Amino acid sequence: MPRAIDHLVIASRDLAAAAEFYRRLGFQVGARNRHPWGTENHIVQFDGSFLELIGLGEGFAAPASQAGHYSFAGFVARFLARHEGLAMLAIRSSDAEADRREFADKGLGDFERFDFARKATRPGGETVDVAFSLAFAASEALPETGFFVCQQHFPQNFWSPSAQVHPNGATGIAGLAFAHEAPEDAVRFLAPFLGASRARRAGQGLEIETDGARIEIAPRSTLVERYGPAIAPDGPSLALIRIRVAESDKSSAFSSRGAIPHSLRGHALELNAANACGVAIVFEP
């Protein structure tokens, strides 16, 4: 079974503005948290997956590079020097150390496991401990995107059904789109990273089914034909996120109420990356 998406890291140079934008879109956005290495985040949680809005906190200093060590903070800082938007893809893990060894064996990356913990604030104001283990992979074909698995050590403290109720009706991540001029090259990394046995042809691109979502890999021009001007002409490789909603009318109402430019394509609502903090977003029922 292909792996499931755990979360997406969405990088912003103005984290407060990004959090406010997602609230205007009708998402319930969690409290601001700080990592020990100086990045800060807000969480938008669904049932089993989430969006991580991330930025550089006050006094942030990029860490020195170390052989065999993948710097999460360093990657975010380098990404923000070029772009805002979808920076990293994390998949769910029950054993990050086993995944780390598998990535090394398959030539997907040989990095030390990264363990960390922080305090989290639940919707009711309660402070709890959360802890994670990450194992990183890296792709020469997709150097602008970070890849890792995420193992939760206190899932009962992290996941909160009340945090997963969004006024815009969003229920989860339906899919992603990578822009790549040679989709086969990207798939040679993505398929084993995602635990998928194959990818299927979809027009000029390829698709991989994960546990609960569809990942598209296609030339940027093909994605523009498919999704219109929502796709940024010179944005990062991870070009678009598709959000599943219970009712498309709700997401449309919030976009209109928040004075956020958008377009309708069939039953889907599309937000241009230029108007959505660097992320092309499609809401689909």
Q: What integer pLDDT is reported at residue 228 of this predicted model?
A: 86
Closest CA to 122 of 33, 233, 195, 15: 33
CA distance 201 to 184: 10
Let me know whether 72 and 179 are in one domain: no
What CATH number did the domain enclosing 49 receive?
Answer: 3.10.180.10
Let me know whether 130 and 196 are in one domain: no
Q: Is 168 exposed, middle or buried (0-12, 13-18, 19+ CB in 10 A)?
A: buried
Containing 243, the helix (H) or strand (E) segment is strand 238-245
**Domain region containing 266:** 170-284
Let me know whether 53 and 181 are in one domain: no
Q: What integer pLDDT is reported at residue 233 of this predicted model?
A: 87
Angstrom CA distances, 6 to 64, 92, 190, 202, 265, stand at 28, 5, 15, 25, 28
Let me know whether 196 and 141 are in one domain: no
Q: In which order are the strands placed within the sheet that holds 5-11?
A: 33-34, 39-45, 50-56, 5-11, 85-93, 146-152, 127-137, 114-121
CA distance 52 to 123: 16
**For 138-194, where are the alpha helices, taking DSSP H only?**
155-158, 183-194
Let me know whether 128 and 193 are in one domain: no
Let me know whether 123 and 212 are in one domain: no
Task: Count structural domains, the chain.
Answer: 2
Let me know whether 114 and 51 are in one domain: yes
Q: What integer pLDDT is reported at residue 101 of this predicted model?
A: 97
* Domain termination residue (choose one: 110, 132, 164): 164
CA distance 176 to 86: 10
Let me know whether 151 and 174 are in one domain: no
Q: What integer pLDDT is reported at residue 83 of this predicted model?
A: 93
* Domain termination residue (choose one: 164, 193, 213): 164
* Domain termination residue (choose one: 164, 196, 222): 164
Helices then strands, each counted (H, E), the chain: 7, 16
Let me know whether 49 and 88 are in one domain: yes
Let me know whether 143 and 67 are in one domain: yes
Q: Which residues of the chain have pLDDT under 50?
A: none
Q: What integer pLDDT is reported at residue 205 of this predicted model?
A: 96
Let me know whether 102 and 176 are in one domain: no
User: Strand 238-245 relative to strand 280-284: parallel, antiparallel, unpaired?
Assistant: parallel
Cα angle vertex 87, ends 161, 213, to 5°?
50
Let me know whether 179 and 154 are in one domain: no
pLDDT tens track for 187-234: 999 999 999 988 999 999 999 999 999 999 999 999 999 998 889 888
CA distance 218 to 222: 6
